[in-house]
Amino acid sequence: MGPEDVLASTAPPDAVPAPEVPADPAALSGVAPRSAETWLRIVQVHDRITHRVDSALHREHDLSLTGFEALRRIAEAPGERATMGEVAEALGLSRAGVTSTVGRLVGQGLVVRERRPGDRRLLHARLTDAGRDRVRAAAATHDELVAHLLTLLGNDAAVVTDALARVSAATRIRR
């Protein structure tokens, strides 16, 4: 199933097709959008992409988007092991939210919780062989679908990415 199939299968049956976006940016109304309009578009895009990717991951890999992101962060960590705090920081979740997510991953046999012998205070999540296999398979689905959806940015991708990175850095919570 390709990204186009996932897009078609996740749209509600009564969905109204999105209007065509003009190829020429000058054809768009309002050269400088109001902040409320920009905010609305950011929220809409986040919500819609998140919903489509979450649906695809559930359907094809029995994983939520949050579970996938947690697995991916653990897989990318040194030794495929991360503390709950590291996963929480990477995902922008509370420790309670990460504990719940990791609990579901433990229940599926995708990670194990463990403490390091030298430091019994910190609880780590470590990827299992099954978790490694699942995150690899799910990453292909996730990355193909996200890449497909973001092609809609066209030549503006670099500008949008840079702008969002600046806003993200400026609003990052310092702990």
Would you say residue 127 lies in a domain? yes
From residue 43, give the alpha-carbon distance in Å to each of 38, 39, 73, 165: 9, 6, 24, 16
How many structural domains is the chain composed of? 1
Q: In the chain, where does DSSP find H-type helix? A: 3-10, 35-61, 65-76, 84-91, 95-107, 129-150, 157-171
Would you say residue 73 lies in a domain? yes
Q: Domain range spanning residue 119?
A: 66-155
Would you say residue 106 lies in a domain? yes
pLDDT in tens, 147-160: 998 898 899 999 99
Domain of 123, CATH number, reads 1.10.10.10
Would you say residue 102 lies in a domain? yes
Would you say residue 1 lies in a domain? no
* Confidence at residue 86, expressed as pLDDT on a 0 to 100 scale: 92
pLDDT in tens, 72-123: 999 999 999 999 999 999 998 888 899 999 999 999 999 999 987 777 778 8
Would you say residue 61 lies in a domain? no
User: Which pTM does this prediction carry?
Assistant: 0.74
